Amino acid sequence: MTYFESYLTVGAFIALGALLVGVVLVLARALAPSNPSAEKLSTYECGVDPVGSGWSQTYVRYYLYGLLFVIFDIEAVFIFPWAIQLESLGMFGLIEMLVFIGILVLGLVYAIRKGVLRWE
Amino acid sequence: MDWIDFLIVVLRVVVVFALLLLVTIINVWAERKVVADFQNRIGPERAGPFGMLQTVADGLKLFFKESIIPARSEVGMFLLAPFLAVIPAFLIFLNIPFGRPITIGDRVIPLQGMDVDVGLLIVLAMSSMAVYAVVIAGWSSGSKYPLLGGVRATAQAISYEAAMGLAMVAVVLFSATQAADAPGGTLSLAELVERQSGTWAGIIPRWNLIPQIVAFVIFFIAAIAETNRAPFDLVEAEQELVGGYFTEYSGMRFAMFFLAEYINIFSMSALTATLFLGGWNGPTWDGVLPVWLSALLPFVWFMIKTYVLVFIFFWIRATLPRLRYDQLMALGWKRLIPGALGWLMLTAVVLGYRRFGLPWS
């Protein structure tokens, strides 16, 4: 199995997955009844007529979590190669990464102390 | 690559697909039966022996149900979301080795959808891809409950994904020192399983579970949260959000989200078994048993380990009440992520000390 052949399997799987969902949905379309009415197509809201638009403002705190996540995700990009190569990087690499992770922990502690993660 | 190799690839893809669909049918039934037992009910019992065909009956019924596209939805995105839910779910399991490679003649056939060097990264990427389905489904419905469910799902998934990735790094770091011949780490899941073969002191299996128990706990909690299962199912909390992101979905489109959820449960359990419980490793008694039985046994061990974890998924669902949203976030950011970081540093220091000695000596 060469490098590209492995990814060929990924392609085959994506195609097969899409095909499966597609076939099922087309089959369901053929079998299921379809008689839409205005009430049926309206948005669900506890049985009453929907009030306002479906897209409302959401809490800004979700956004802050997104920002924090980016930091930790980029960190993973650095840590995974390091974890694989620790053997050849030696003691220097180990201490360097500990300093890096230490800075990140400080960042997280700062965020917690600032109340960024408080939810009220 | 001649045509036999091509045929083998096709066969592997089809086998993995069939396996996933089969276990989903079994898992849906098993969950209902297990939860029913926990709650002192009988559960499904009419369709087939012990109600085992209940899932098939439900699936067939959904074929005949109207699939509504709400007038206020963004139609294109609304139709795309079920595809985005199912395909990444399939792709996660594609990376997981479910049996020992079989040798026929001079061909070695790995029992795995694909064996790429970065298998673990693909798994991580695909489990984040699943979030897109939820977000797009929630947003495109043009309705309040799905939107809230979608936003909740994003924040939850990214929080626990960070913890999950860090727990994985600790395992990769540890298994880098476990190789017999080739030093250095690996992200290939087949190689990670290979390194867990054998025993310590003759009786204790060399699973990553024992030296990496903290990473296991963090990883498993994060896996439950990533699949949006109870007690982390705030995404689809029925009492607050009706159905969360799939409130507006009906008929077969709804069934696709349902299918993706159950495939994810199985894949995550299989991944946990692969990373921590030694995957398909187990006694095979080569030479004592017939050849075909020895070849089959690794698959049996893999399924047993996976189903123990699947059972724990169901058990947790039946036992724990749902968390509040602030508790969910506090658990992720103030417990799991610092815990995973601390465990990673501890692992690195211990391994570094054993490998390189003290820094000043």
Same-domain status, A52 and A11: no
Chain A interface mutation, best of B67, B68, B144, B235, highest count of A Cβ atoms under 10 Å: B144
Tell me the pTM. Answer: 0.89
- Chain A hits for B189, CB-CB cut-off 8 Å, are none
Q: How many CB pairs lie under 8 A apart between chains A and B?
A: 230
- Chain A hits for B172, CB-CB cut-off 8 Å, are 80, 83-84
A9 closest CB neighbour out of B9, B68, B155 = B9
Same-domain status, A1 and A59: no
- Chain B hits for A97, CB-CB cut-off 8 Å, are 348
Asked if residues B162 and B245 have their Cβ atoms less than 8 Å apart, the reply is no
* Tokens at B83, concatenated: 């595809």
Which CATH number belongs to the domain containing residue A118 in this structure? 1.20.58.1610
Mean pLDDT of chain B: 83
Element (H, E) at A86: helix A61-113
Residue B89 is predicted with a pLDDT of: 87
- The domain limits of chain B are 69-356
Other beta carbons within 10 angstroms of residue A2's beta carbon come to 8
pLDDT surpasses 70 at B238: no
Other beta carbons within 10 angstroms of residue B360's beta carbon come to 5
pLDDT surpasses 80 at B309: yes
**Residue A43: strand pairing partners:** none
- Please state the φ and ψ torsions of residue B99, each to the nearest 5 degrees: -170, 165
Contact call for B121 and A80, based on CB within 8 A: yes
Residue A1 is predicted with a pLDDT of: 54
- Chain B hits for A36, CB-CB cut-off 8 Å, are 68
pLDDT surpasses 80 at B236: no
Residue B65 is predicted with a pLDDT of: 84
Residue type, A68: L
Q: What is the 3-state secondary structure (H, E, C) of chain B?
A: CCHHHHHHHHHHHHHHHHHHHHHHHHHHHHHHHHHHHHCCCCCCCCCCHHHCCHHHHHHHHHHCCCCCCCCCCCHHHHHHHHHHHHHHHHHHHHCCCCEEEEEECCEEEEECCCCCCCHHHHHHHHHHHHHHHHHHHHHHCCCHHHHHHHHHHHHHHHHHHHHHHHHHHHHHHHHHCCCCCCCCCCCCHHHHHHCCCCEECCCEECCCCCCCHHHHHHHHHHHHHHCCCCCCHHHHCHHHHCCHHHCCCCHHHHHHHHHHHHHHHHHHHHHHHHHHCCCCCCCCCCCCCCHHHHHHHHHHHHHHHHHHHHHHHHHHHHHCCCCCHHHHHHHHHHHHHHHHHHHHHHHHHHHHHHHHCCCCC
CB neighbour burial string for A72-100, b if at least 16 within 10 angstroms, e if fewer: beebbeebbebbbebbeeebebbeebeee
* Tokens at A8, concatenated: 């060929």
Nearest CA in chain A to B93: A13
- Please state the φ and ψ torsions of residue B208, each to the nearest 5 degrees: -70, -15
Among A14-18, A116-120, B258-262, B302-306, the range scoring the smallest mean pLDDT is: A116-120
Domain interval for residue A64: 38-120
- Please state the φ and ψ torsions of residue B106, each to the nearest 5 degrees: -105, 10
Same-domain status, A75 and A46: yes
Q: How far apart are CA A109 and CA B156, in angstroms?
A: 20
Q: Which of A35, A31, A34, A52 is nearest to A43 (CA)?
A: A52
* Tokens at B3, concatenated: 């045509």
Same-domain status, A91 and A68: yes
Exposed (0-12), middle (13-18) or buried (19+): which is B118, by Cβ within 10 Å?
Answer: middle
pLDDT surpasses 80 at B184: no
Same-domain status, A58 and A5: no
B252 closest CB neighbour out of A18, A28, A56 = A28
Asked if residues B176 and B186 have their Cβ atoms less than 8 Å apart, the reply is yes
Chain A interface mutation, best of B140, B173, B191, B234, highest count of A Cβ atoms under 10 Å: B173
pLDDT surpasses 70 at B183: no
- Chain B hits for A54, CB-CB cut-off 8 Å, are 72, 141-144, 147
Same-domain status, A12 and A60: no
Residue B219 is predicted with a pLDDT of: 92
- Chain A hits for B151, CB-CB cut-off 8 Å, are 58-59, 62
Residues sharing a CB contact under 8 Å with residue B205, sequence separation 6 or more, in sequence order? B196, B198, B199, B278, B281
Q: DSSP per residue over A21-67, as a string?
A: HHHHHHHHHHHS-----HHHHSPPSTTSPPPS-S-----THHHHHHH
CB neighbour burial string for B183-216, b if at least 16 within 10 angstroms, e if fewer: eebbbbbbbbbbbbbeeeeeeebbbbbebbebbb
pLDDT surpasses 60 at B1: no
Contact call for A117 and B329, based on CB within 8 A: yes
DSSP A115: T
Same-domain status, A108 and A68: yes
pLDDT surpasses 70 at B182: no
Distance from CA of A42 to the nearest CA of B (A): 6
Other beta carbons within 10 angstroms of residue B273's beta carbon come to 27
Q: Is it true that the peptide bond before B205 is cis, omega within 30 degrees of 0? A: no
Distance from CA of B287 to the nearest CA of A (A): 29
Domain count, chain A: 2
Q: How far apart are CA A83 and CA A93, in angstroms?
A: 10
Q: What is the pLDDT of residues B6-32, one digit of tens each?
A: 787 778 878 888 888 889 888 889 888
Q: What is the pLDDT of residues B48-81, one digit of tens each?
A: 888 888 888 888 888 888 888 888 888 888 888 8
Exposed (0-12), middle (13-18) or buried (19+): which is B128, by Cβ within 10 Å?
Answer: middle
Same-domain status, A57 and A21: no
Contact call for A10 and B114, based on CB within 8 A: yes
- Chain B hits for A69, CB-CB cut-off 8 Å, are 158-159, 161-162
How many Cα neighbours within 13 Å face the side chain of B298? Answer: 22
Q: How far apart are CA B234 and CA B332, in angstroms?
A: 14
Same-domain status, A42 and A23: no
DSSP A116: T
Percentage of chain B beyond pLDDT 90 is 6
Reported ipTM: the value is 0.85
Residue B242 is predicted with a pLDDT of: 72
Same-domain status, A59 and A85: yes
pLDDT surpasses 80 at A47: no
Residue B21 is predicted with a pLDDT of: 87
